[in-house]
A and B are shown apart, each in its own frame.
Chain A
Amino acid sequence: MTKKYLGQRITRNEDPRMLTGQALFVDDVEIPGMLHAAFLRSDYAHARILSIDVSAACNRPGVVAVYTAEDMGDFWKPGPLLVPAPRGIEGAFFHARTQIPMARDKVRHVGEPMAVVIGESRYLAEDALADIVVDLEPLEAVADLERALDPDAPLVHDDMESNLGSFVPQRKGDYEAAREQADLVIQRRIVIDRGAAAAMENRVLVAHWDAKSQEMTIWDTTQAPIPLRNGLAGMLGLAEHQVRVIAPFIGGAFGPKIMMFQPEEVLLPWATMKLNRPIKWIEDRRENFVATTQERGQIHDAESALTKDGHILGVKDVFLHDSGAYDPYGLTVPLNSQNHVMGCYDIPSYYSELKMVFTNKMIVTPVRGAGRPQGIFVIERLLDIAAKELDIDRAELRRRNNLQPDAFPHNHKIIDQAFAEFVIDSGNYPATLARALDMIEYEKFIKEEQPALRAEGRHVGIGVVAFIETTGVGPYEGARVTIEASGKVSVATGVGTQGQGHFTAFAQIVADQLGVDVRDVHVVTGDTAHFHWGTGTFASRGAVVAANAINAAAKGVRVKVLKLASKVLGAPEEELELADGMVRVADIPDQSIGLGELAVLANPMRGAVEPGSEPGLEATDYFGPQYGATANGTHAMILEVDVETMMVEIKRYVVVEDCGTIINPLILEGQVHGGVSLGIGNSYYEQLVYDDNGQLLNGSFMDYLIPRSTDMPPRIEIGHEVTPSPLNPLGTKGAGEAGAIPVPSLFAQAVEDALYDYDLEVLEMPLSPNRLFELCYQKGS
């Protein structure tokens, strides 16, 4: 098999449609007779519902129905626990308290729905919201993580003894003994606040029950169409095949759209069956700020023990994780944090306590990075502080502690988000670090450029940090590949696409296996009518799990092609080659047959298909990795701080990443760019500010700052190291989240380096010009 496309910078198959407005987004779905939903949401973070009077809203012309929890009868149920807690960790517990379709007795965060109005237009439905009279008894809310654990703190869930939702202690080796032997022990408190995923397209849904065909079609911006279909079918009492979930083109997701069975997602399908009319709901930006999901809030009390030559003997980390009002996504986020604290380093002993806390704030589920940025921030900050204390160069300290290329597979010996021991499959960390240092000209900058700039009174700093990312976790994905009579190839897989370039990357793999033009491979993702086995797009797993399933299915088709062509052409399989959409005898180009013609022969109108064989040139296959592949990388940047305004200008940004085999560098680099921009937002712009009463104080893009193109570095220089993963045939590792993960720790280091004369220690994220100013001046310069 010649690899014509794998690893090539192929422009995207989907772009002509996207760029000319021919791509279907959920809001493009228009069905005659379609109604529109608007949700009445709580303004209170914590309140008891005394009564809800919807009579005036029902009487407003154009309103078709108004529903509250009372109207839902037995259908009203807390959502399923999407990710259970890992078992077998001694001393660990987890209390599941999942979200509810509509608040019934009390509201637990601002934005929680209390009623839904379904009307002839969204305009009418929103007007009718104002007619609903809700009598609420406000309760004291708890927004602060530490306050939530006070014995007298108000309880988010009345049936619990405290707001501690989960406790997970994990240990590797004997940290206390390591601490005894250490020459240096560093202890710090590290605080990381919440940010929004802020996808360009918010959540959008259309639910359409067709009573005559007894079929439900749901267009949904979900990252997990198949589990959503299966779950909704169960809830609605329908057979799975009666429900079709379509996740068409989606304007970004970044995590929150993996959160399934959100109230709106459950209510619309229920209501369309009651009303027998299609219903649309478009989440507006204000709703997105209070009623989707967010991430990042954690407080770490971290400690590291080192020898005087900078070798880490052990790390201890006790941290609080803000789960918001419910915990439907289990422990994925805080477990990732717990796992990533050991990063890409050889750490002999580790003790960690994870405490997940309920607060009266929006639910926390993964947002691009999913707990990993916090873990990486902790270890990288501890290393930076150690470097200063021990007077060892930052890069050198990392070099000394890096896991070596011969260390793999390396077992970090704690349980990870896939509930197995966290084993790193492969990598070359010293090479990645060295390459990044080389690209940013670290030595030259430190020795020559920086002293000269400082002499001019300028504050220009450099940063370099390393990270790992667990990616491509199971359980599995699947795909079906078919050669059609036209000679073109169709591929269907269950994962959804939210801008990752699947229509191209997946096509490249198939095109190589079958010797066809990459433009002749048509990929369908996220439509349960086309493929209905799979889990979803999350954990940077598309190019690992789905791509390998597609590769396996394409190989299956290749086997069928060779077998049939061998018969038709009268030549042994070994002498055949697949190229240019044909099968030909290698040495006799005239002796060939087109794939389309072969497909027709494989699916004859008359005659007999041989017993034991299948019609057509089609194969379905699956892939499930033994465990997740771990990607890694090093980021480096040079930035300048204007000490009068504390505005920051990133002058250079270097990324060296290793995600194993690269399918398409163009798409990979796009992922890295996007990730870095989110990371820059997490570092200096994007912070969700809540007051003590659980009110979000910056719930609009007027106040919540997304980095603009002018806040980005002029260029992101990318270098690729390639250490293929031994865990899958393609050798791929995920890259979807990688770009975002190390940026806050990098930013902190570079800012400290730039403000060398301010005695600054950054122990929190995000920063902002204001906050940086405070940090500089509260310590005194």
Chain B
Amino acid sequence: MEIAGEYVFHGPREEVWDLVRDPDVLSTALPGAQKLEKVSDQEYVGDMNIRVGPVSGLFSGKLLVSNEVPPESYTLTVDGKGGPGFVKGTGDVQLVDQGDGTTLMKYEGDMQIGGTLASVGQRMLDTVSRSLIRQGLETLDKALQERVAARSEGREAKVEAPTETEFAAAVAKDMAGEALSSRWLWIAVVVVIAIVRGAVILTSGRGG
């Protein structure tokens, strides 16, 4: 599966760079991330709950940063395994200073998906992954703006990660949006219900 896109961050390039290289911030932006630990400057390990339609489960994996050219570009390698399958991919990320205080992030990569995640989740993979990326980047952008604002106000930045339910609800919304323009409406509706219900069970089960 190919993944490519652009996103505009509302902040200077150096700030964006610091942000995307900070595991604490990053883990809040990864939907379903249970933990993300820094092994070295280039390597992180962590666990992440992934839910794609009827397929869900905990993935364990590592994140490798290479080809670093601060604050311009880096390469990200993901290697995760879990009950429902595996995810393996490499992507190039580029940060472009737009000169107006904003930073353009360009990313492109190739993901290999395997196991049940691929065989059963396939139909939803595209939408769900796009939705997760968009939400993750939006969360990062919020964190970025909070950092910038906090600095100018001389206070400490507060980063609040969205809950998994909020993530799931947003995925459902994105999928419903696609469904309205496709013939597979009924399937999508069922999936949306499953996701929302699953997410509620998941979070209430944890006492959240």
Contacts and interface: CB of A to CB of B under 8 A. Distances in A.
A448 B130 CA distance: 54
B94 interface: no
Contacts of A700: 54, 119-120
A643 interface: no
Interface string B99-121: 00000000000001111101110
A138 B86 CA distance: 11
Contact of B116 (A44, A286, A691, A703): A286
B205 to A, nearest CB: 15
Nearest to A692: B112
Interface residues of B, number: 18
Interface in A668-727: 691, 693, 695-700, 702-703
* Chain A interface size, under 10 / 10 to 19 / 20 to 34 / 35 or more: 20 to 34
Most buried by A among B86, B114, B123: B114
Contacts of A44: 86, 114
B53 to A, nearest CB: 8
B83 A699 contact: no
Contacts of B120: 286, 699-700, 702-703
Contacts of B49: none
A289 interface: yes
A602 B54 CA distance: 65
Contacts of A286: 116, 119-120
Nearest to A138: B88
A130 B88 CA distance: 19
Nearest to B122: A697
B69 interface: no
Contacts of B57: 130
B187 A110 contact: no
A45 B116 contact: no
Contact of A110 (B88, B114, B122): B114
A702 B119 CA distance: 10
| A-side interface mostly | loop
B187 A289 contact: no
A43 interface: yes
B23 interface: no
A140 to B, nearest CB: 11
Given A130-B83, A138-B88, A43 B115 contact: yes
Interface in A371-407: none
A228 interface: no
A290 interface: yes
B46 interface: no
Given A44-B86, A695-B113, A697-B122, 18 more contacts: A43-B85, A43-B116, A45-B114, A110-B114, A110-B115, A110-B119, A130-B83, A138-B88, A286-B120, A693-B112, A693-B114, A695-B114, A695-B115, A697-B118, A698-B122, A702-B54, A703-B120, A703-B122
Interface of A: 43-45, 110, 129-130, 138, 286, 289-290, 691, 693, 695-700, 702-703
**Lowest 6 CB-CB distances: which A-B pairs, in order?**
A699-B119, A43-B115, A695-B118, A697-B122, A696-B119, A700-B120
17 contacts: A43-B81, A43-B115, A43-B116, A44-B86, A110-B115, A129-B83, A138-B88, A695-B112, A695-B114, A696-B118, A698-B119, A698-B122, A699-B119, A699-B120, A702-B54, A702-B187, A703-B123
